[in-house]
Structure 1
């Protein structure tokens, strides 16, 4: 199997040995069987890391159309989500996931090459009408691009563990309210257990900033038995104080736990070193989100070490 040169390599040999068995093959299907899968997948990852167009260097990655089609297929059929889920299961079995989860969102400017499709105000036929579908099968309204103060933007909404390592992510338009999307982000947390038992979907705590400080969110977290580490909004605190004894008690805040909220910002800083994530060039939200998932996979790979 031919591998790319060190200049273009994204995966180490040991990392690829862990990932390769989790990728689908083309055996039993019409068409030629997949050849040199590592070379093609390296091309996809290299494209997101550098932010170059999909017309990759042919001598290193082969025909660019193959890299694009393979990435689009793996994005749409949930391959990259399944790989991340398997790696998360290994990490959880090794006790390496801190279940004090931090949640936040970051803006990515949409390049003009990503916006010459359906206008952000127009529905693409998915989103709210297909809430029961896995996220990798949903192309959100406007392809996840919306109008905000920064122009045409996308928001990456991320849940990370207590050490800043990614557990779940979704992509929406940049104008969508952070608090309104929290339930959808938490719903993407799905970590199977080795052996018997249901997958783990419930964090021990959710740490978030004031954008998530609503009564609806606090009630939902309380219903699920999740500790809310969210500071009160200043206007809410002032209104409660004006009402005196009728204002009720302020929500509790674990100040020590809240100091760990910045781990999600650290992951955003790491992910945006990949230029294809820092700026969105992809027309489809599905393929863009798959690039974010690839970055998450490599983040966990570095933690688990190079031994498959």
Structure 2
């Protein structure tokens, strides 16, 4: 393999050695294994880090841009990056590195005009681009995960991160989707296998979230799953309870000290959006955009 310069590299040699065995190596044309595997994967990450068009990828560093794009498209559709992240999370959990006080939130990414020049049906875009638990076929959500919000045509990335701000689960929806309405989907995507026998871990110890998630439905669901809710009440809920006096009931328990740790999810969003191809969505397909978000999550864990 021709070595790419350090300026173009995203993965260190040690990080690449950890993920290379997890990537498909013989799923190209029949009888032909993928060539120059690292070179192509580095090209995928470089494209999203810089936000350049696929056609502008330096050929001398990454080879034909068509090869890089097709590999990314294939891995996005068959769930390759989800499987890599799952394995990295399993290794981290076995080493006791995951803090299970989970913070959840969402961030908006403006959709570039190159991402929006497709036919989008006028229907809910909240189906999500996640296909990890489905057969390994392409699952593209209605409207390609783009919706019209206050900022125009946007995509929303919903994340659950551990207590140190490292991502555990990702859902991509249209920008108009309510954060709280997607929480159940986000928590359902937390799936960390255990080494050896035993069911995968899917239940956090606590969910820390802002007032957008302060609904009775969410609190009831977290209580049913025996997950501690660290969510402040909305101001109108507090006022309504005070107006009712003794009939208003007790306010839900709230751990203010634990809530101070919620900013880890905001810090992760700031880190992820240093990749220009994530801060602005250029992808027409939600599954390819979400795959790039997953690659960034994998790198975050590898660096840990």
For this structure pair, what is the TM-score category when the shorter chain's length is used for normalisation? over 0.9
Matched ranges for 1:18-33 at <5 A: 18-26=18-26, 30=30, 32-33=32-33
Aligned to 1:35, the other structure's residue is in SS state coil
- Change in Cα spacing, 1:290 to 1:66, as seen in structure 2 (3 Å) is same
**Contact 1:120–1:145 (Cα < 8 Å) also in 2:** no
Work out the CA distance in 2 between the residues paired with 1:135 and 1:156. Answer: 22
1:41 matched residue in structure 2: 41
Aligned to 2:262, the other structure's residue is in SS state helix
Higher deviation after alignment, 24-33 or 177-186: 24-33
Work out the CA distance in 2 between the residues paired with 1:222 and 1:247. Answer: 20
Matched ranges for 1:234-273 at <5 A: 234-273=235-274
Q: Deviations over 1:196-235 (max 9, x none)?
A: 1100000000000000000000000000000000000000
Normalized against structure 2, the TM-score is what? Answer: 0.95
Is residue 151 of structure 1 aligned with residue 152 of structure 2? yes
Aligned to 1:24, the other structure's residue is in SS state coil
- Change in Cα spacing, 1:207 to 1:197, as seen in structure 2 (3 Å) is same
Shift of 1:139: 1.5
**Contact 1:120–1:147 (Cα < 8 Å) also in 2:** no
Matched ranges for 1:277-288 at <5 A: 277-288=278-289
Shift of 1:120: 5.7
1:275 matched residue in structure 2: 276
**Contact 1:121–1:146 (Cα < 8 Å) also in 2:** no
Shift of 1:135: 10
Shift of 1:136: 8.5
Shift of 1:122: 4.8
- Change in Cα spacing, 1:300 to 1:251, as seen in structure 2 (3 Å) is same
Work out the CA distance in 1 between the residues paired with 2:41 and 2:52. Answer: 15
Work out the CA distance in 2 between the residues paired with 1:137 and 1:225. Answer: 34
Q: Deviations over 1:78-121 (max 9, x none)?
A: 10001001000111011000000000000000000000012262
> CA RMSD for the aligned pairs?
2.1
Matched ranges for 1:290-301 at <5 A: 290-301=291-302
Unaligned runs of 5+ in 2: none
Matched ranges for 1:101-250 at <5 A: 101-119=102-120, 121-122=122-123, 133=134, 137-250=138-251
Normalized against structure 1, the TM-score is what? Answer: 0.94
Q: Deviations over 1:149-204 (max 9, x none)?
A: 10000000000000000000010000000100000000110000111110000000
Work out the CA distance in 1 between the residues paired with 2:29 and 2:107. Answer: 40
- Change in Cα spacing, 1:98 to 1:137, as seen in structure 2 (3 Å) is farther
Work out the CA distance in 1 between the residues paired with 2:215 and 2:287. Answer: 30
Aligned to 1:3, the other structure's residue is in SS state coil
**Contact 1:155–1:173 (Cα < 8 Å) also in 2:** yes
Aligned to 1:228, the other structure's residue is in SS state strand
**Contact 2:78–2:136 (Cα < 8 Å) also in 1:** no
